[in-house]
Amino acid sequence: MPGILALLTVTFATVSTTTLLMLSAPAQPGGASNRTLPPDAAPLARQTLRMMSPEPRSLDAQVNLYDAEATLLPWEPLLTRDEMWQPQPATAERYSASKDGKTWTFYLRRGAKWSDGRPVTANDFVYAFRRMLDPAAANPYASFYYDIRNAEAISKGTLKDTTLLGVRAADEATFVVETERPAPYFPHIASFPLAYPAPRWAIEKHGRRWTEVDKIVSSSPFKMSEWVRGSHMTFVADPNYNGPKRPYLQKVVHPFRDDAVATILPYENNEVDIESVDINELDRIQKHPVLSKELVKAWGRTTWYILFKTTAPPFNDIRVREAFARVLDRDAICRTVLRNTAMPAYSMIPPDFKEYNGAVMKPVQSRDIARAQQLMKDAGFPGGRGFPKQEMWLRAPTPSITMVASAIQSMLREHLNVEVTIRTADRTAYMSQLYDWKMNFGLIRFVADYVDPRNMLDMTWRSQPRGAGRHDWVNRRFDQLVEQAGTELSPVTRTQLYRQAEEILVRDYAAGFVFHPQNLELRKPYVKGYAKNADGTVGSLVYTNLYIGK
């Protein structure tokens, strides 16, 4: 079966009307525990998965995605994703699109229930989407939904009536979304983890505390059973869930631990079943007779880059930005610092996208020390003289990212005579500074929300006002190209437009692109149910597919 995005593109391009049906497994009358375990599974009582996570500030991710950290979210979106990030049935068992690609109708699963037994309805999605776009929520991810009619005006406060948002309930089981323009990628938006319903009665009763363990109302295959502050949180299979994603697992436990102090010791002590691996532990793992066999790699759909404040000195000068980009030894960073678990980045779109064009863009940002030094001289900073000392901001860095930052710091000092100090901040503080454009210079990543270039280019780099966009960089031609590409129904033309836009981004040195990482994990051999790809990498974790083997 073709990917959903491919299916959308072909259908829009070849027929005058479009109806796309996603067929799910029939709703089940029993509870989540009724799914038959595979033959090699351990008994039901042992179906517990343990994974570390930073402690969330709140699980109210629809208001602030970054507050929820990496914990399981106990709400089911309209659609969900398979291991290759293609949209699949979830609360919506099927959907249709109008011939102009501007009206999307989602047909909800009959019998879907909240954890308190109430039915999940289309009105719960209407309330959720209005809440996400309400300017009072100050949602840093509101722009993700700006395709929806009136979403941007409502989010920015120029349109006060949130009921004018282009979402409605045609009936209790039919949720309709109207977009400002054709949006052939909208199933990816509907499968984003935040596209879930919200329980209005619980939120209005408890306010921002509604996701605390004694107040939370959820809708996914899992519900939260405990949140022990400073220790862990636990999710259990919800017997009210009757959808296609009923889990094998009966419990998911997240012991809390900050990424900056991550080690594999809990994994070695059998306290967790899956553990992220930092580069500084790779040597020991690869030499270990047991751990080496449990190491897995997955492409991260991620780009790390150095960011600049482009509207103020010294980075408002393109020559300075290019000099910083040209001094980077990406090969050394990937080979020596990251131990061959990343590839050099010369553009924004990662190599696990079919639209990847980094090899073509390489000459624009590749290492050229002589040119970098001449550019700094031309900009008025010969030999680095007079260049203001800079802070390189890092967001809750792991040890390996701190090493990358130190390498960049050394390259700038050695070749440009530029002094850089490293400043770290937790996620919330960093993102606040980022969106308020208060940092001159930083190292940051963008992890794809879905596998379409619109996410990597339009959503990340199209000009937005302060507080709504990551960056202050503005290029009107870039904006025009990504706007045009977003509505283009021809896949060939669409790719061409995005490549033109990406070339502008790269040639204007809006960022210095550094590397595309692979994610490293240790997984116990008894953790089953995840895909293994032909290149030896593994697919993304889908909790409802996982189980504990014998």
**22: which residues sit within 8 A by CB, 6+ positions away?**
79, 87, 88, 89, 92, 93, 94, 95
Average pLDDT for the chain? 91
* Burial degree of 160 (CB within 10 A; 0-12, 13-18, 19+): exposed
pLDDT for residue 381: 98
Angle between helices 491-507 and 476-487 (to 10 degrees): 160
pLDDT-derived band at 549, boundaries 50, 70, 90:
very high
pLDDT for residue 260: 66
Residue 21 to residue 95: CA distance in whole angstroms:
5
pLDDT for residue 468: 81
Percent of the chain residues topping a pLDDT of 70: 93
Residue ranges of domains in the chain, CATH in brackets? 4-36+71-206 (3.90.76.10), 302-518 (3.10.105.10)
Containing 391, the helix (H) or strand (E) segment is strand 390-395
pLDDT for residue 445: 97
Longest dimension (CA), the chain: 74
pLDDT for residue 413: 98
Parallel, antiparallel or unpaired: strands 441-447 and 302-308: antiparallel
Print burial letters for 3-29: b (CB count within 10 Å at least 16), e (below 16). Answer: ebbebbbebbeeeeebebebebeeeee
pLDDT for residue 280: 85
pLDDT-derived band at 11, boundaries 50, 70, 90:
very low
pLDDT for residue 34: 60
pLDDT for residue 372: 98
Alpha-carbon distance values, 353 to 206, 304, 413, 487, 499 (Å): 42, 15, 34, 19, 12
Alpha helices in 33-160 (DSSP H): 122-133, 151-155
pLDDT for residue 202: 97
pLDDT above 90 (res 55): yes
pLDDT for residue 278: 87
pLDDT for residue 26: 43
Phi, psi angles (nearest 5°) of residue 294: -105, 5
| Average pLDDT, integer, range 254-268 | 86
Max mean pLDDT among 51-55, 247-251, 451-455, 463-467 falls in 247-251
pLDDT-derived band at 393, boundaries 50, 70, 90:
very high
pTM of the model: 0.80
pLDDT above 80 (res 505): yes
Residue 29 to residue 110: CA distance in whole angstroms:
11
Peptide bond into 39 cis (omega under 30): no
Tens of pLDDT, residues 296-324? 999 889 999 999 999 999 999 999 999 99
pLDDT for residue 323: 98
Residue 406 to residue 141: CA distance in whole angstroms:
30
The residue type of 400 is: S
Tens of pLDDT, residues 170-203? 999 999 999 999 998 899 999 999 999 999 999 9
pLDDT above 50 (res 13): no
pLDDT above 90 (res 371): yes
Q: Is 82 helix (H, G, I), strand (E, B) or coil?
A: coil
pLDDT above 50 (res 24): no
pLDDT above 70 (res 42): yes
pLDDT above 80 (res 439): yes
Between residues 27 and 376, which one has the greater pLDDT?
376
- Token pair recorded at residue 218: 């959820």
pLDDT-derived band at 21, boundaries 50, 70, 90:
very low
pLDDT-derived band at 2, boundaries 50, 70, 90:
very low
Strand ranges for 417-507 from DSSP E:
420-425, 441-447
DSSP-derived letter for residue 424 is E
* Burial degree of 32 (CB within 10 A; 0-12, 13-18, 19+): buried
